[in-house]
Amino acid sequence: MTRAVCPGSFDPVTHGHLDIIGRTARLADEVVVAVGDNVAKNALFTPPERVAMLQTACAELPNVSVTLFSGLLVQFCAAQGIGLISKGVRAADFAYELQMAQMNRRLTGVDTVLLPTDPRWAFVSSSLVREVAMLGGDVSEFVPPAVAEQISARVGARLVED
């Protein structure tokens, strides 16, 4: 049985992420979506909020579960009996993703599949979604409707705070 992990920050989850998770769920028997629990300074959502958003977004995928992870991804994989890392790759990410895949394989032998991002989402990233949303742009095309609502609420609350 193939268990794969889709790791990431998912702040917030985008249609690009969901495309990769869905495609991985067709390639592997079980998929664990692993949300890194590091909180960046410009984070929009806490790691538990991101997990909840992903659980809702992946509810229709029976072989997908969502969890937090901390520390090294390869250690998480070893502890969970996961033999494959699956990540989406845009042209601009390729060099860094290749480097991480090679490092992870060197560390424990765990291999990585890099799935080319669907061209529809090639320009979408969580960081750009955050920036556009914080500056008042409409990001509803790039994320699920429930996530778009949470972004609006969070951005609105941030603007009131500042």
The correct pick among 31, 32, 73, 155 for binding ligand PNS (CB under 6 A) is 73
Question: From the list 72, 98, 153, 157, which residue makes contact with ligand PNS (rule: CB under 6 A)?
Answer: 72
Task: Enumerate residues 20-59 that contact ligand PNS by CB under 6 A.
Answer: 36
Closest approach of ligand PNS to the CB of residue 29, in Å: 21
Pick out residues in 122-161 that bind ligand PNS (CB under 6 A): none
Among candidate residues 17, 23, 50, 130, the one labeled active-site is 17
- Min dist CB 13 to ligand PNS, Å, is 10
100 makes contact with ligand PNS (CB under 6 A): yes
Task: Please give the Cα distance from 40 to 31 (Å, whole number).
Answer: 25
Strands 3-8 and 64-69, bridge-based pairing:
unpaired
> Could you tell me which stretch among 20-28, 41-49, 97-105, 108-116 binds ligand PNS (CB under 6 A)?
97-105
Q: Is 29 exposed, middle or buried (0-12, 13-18, 19+ CB in 10 A)?
A: exposed
Active site residue 17: yes
Active site residue 158: no
